Structure 1
């Protein structure tokens, strides 16, 4: 019993840390929507596609901010209508973020390997989100929650991307060397961890990390 309590508590704390990270990064990235915001043109994608960059930054940030609360059972039970509307906003944000990411991926730093990584992330992101939406419309809510957890794991690439970029700079790895790997590392481990977690919990059980009230 004690071990089980510790496990649930640890998972709840992990989810809380993830939620705070998503909120902080999402709100910080929304600064691109401010008028007169100065931009650094060091990024090829920003220099070549400034409008898609801003649209992507804002829409992806909204998805990052909106996502975490959707998985808390007490929120869903107490505010079901609001849960549905926030869910629609989350899905719409991802659709816009995916479309606006396409020209950015083409112009990704360091070339084809990084571009392929971001293209693959976008396809996985829109596919998992679309499956989650479809299951909700079919009222298959247990499956809906599983697909949306996969979707948010990919939304969380915005967090892990920054972690890997910061870590590589801190240890002095050249960006030309690290960035192609980071374009894949920012999301593939997220997807694998989410899948491992869902398989461990089984097809019908509610994710343990989200059972805290």
Structure 2
């Protein structure tokens, strides 16, 4: 007689986490808000001359860039809501809908990034870095969505942590860019004329394209593994 294996039950809800146990949510919200306020208005009017990056890279580049930025803004906003423990504990329906919004926005953002990555300003090194980032964002998001559909909530959490770390690479890139320019072209931050036309700027842009998401992903893996301890082998008598 055939037997059916019942679907794994959802783990019981954990008690609400106090805000001081998650001190990073407020700074993350502020940083995300500042980033969106300073970056998004340049593209709302669809004026290519206001873009932070050169747009003369073919007819497909600017539409893909605008799509990437608009969808990415929704993605980052939904990610902050997803990471807010109080909202998850007190308003689970809002948490679920913000999660669906994040998945949809991340898929659009990643697809648009695949297009913009093929028009790099710093050569093949930057192209490969941004292509890897776009592919990993799509893969992690899809795996996280599939896991929650299969009620594998532990796997869902792990993949979405990785996806969120990759999503915020655009924010951390604003930090790594100036740091690496200062490393590659000392004095460039105080005297921008030193950086103008300097060949080292291309190396700084390539390094920033890699570091901005690799460091985030490494931190996410540390965060996921920090509470796990390898099982000890039984001691022999």
TM-score (norm 1): 0.81
Task: Give the alignment of 1:52-201 within 5 angstroms.
Answer: 52-169=64-181, 171=186, 172=188, 174-201=200-227
Provide structure 1 residue ranges, at least 5 long, that are not aligned to the other structure.
Answer: 1-7, 204-213
Deviations 1:4-31 (A, max 9, x none): xxxx95x733343223212221343332
C-alpha distance in structure 1 between counterparts of 2:119 and 2:48, whole Å: 20
Bigger relative contact order (CA 8 A; separation at least 6): 1
Q: 1:119 to 1:65 in 2, by over 3 A?
A: same
CA-atom RMSD in angstroms: 2.3
TM-score (norm 2): 0.74
Of 38, 47, 50 in structure 1, the residue corresponding to residue 56 of structure 2 is 47
C-alpha distance in structure 1 between counterparts of 2:218 and 2:98, whole Å: 26
Q: Secondary structure of the residue that 2:23 maps to in structure 1?
A: helix
Tell me the matched-pair count: 194
**Per-residue deviation, 1:99:** 1.1
Q: Which has the higher helix share?
A: 1
Provide structure 2 residue ranges, at least 5 long, that are not aligned to the other structure.
Answer: 1-18, 189-194, 230-237
List structure 1 segments (4+ residues) > 4 angstroms apart after TM superposition: none
**Per-residue deviation, 1:96:** 0.8
Rg comparison, structure with higher value: 2
C-alpha distance in structure 2 between counterparts of 1:39 and 1:78, whole Å: 44
Of 19, 24, 38 in structure 2, the residue corresponding to residue 28 of structure 1 is 38
**Per-residue deviation, 1:32:** 4.4
Deviations 1:20-73 (A, max 9, x none): 2122213433324523545346734x3221111111111112111210221233
C-alpha distance in structure 1 between counterparts of 2:52 and 2:142, whole Å: 34
Q: 1:185 to 1:80 in 2, by over 3 A?
A: same
The answer as to whether partners of 1:32 and 1:54 remain within 8 angstroms in 2 is no
C-alpha distance in structure 1 between counterparts of 2:171 and 2:208, whole Å: 12
The answer as to whether partners of 1:114 and 1:183 remain within 8 angstroms in 2 is yes
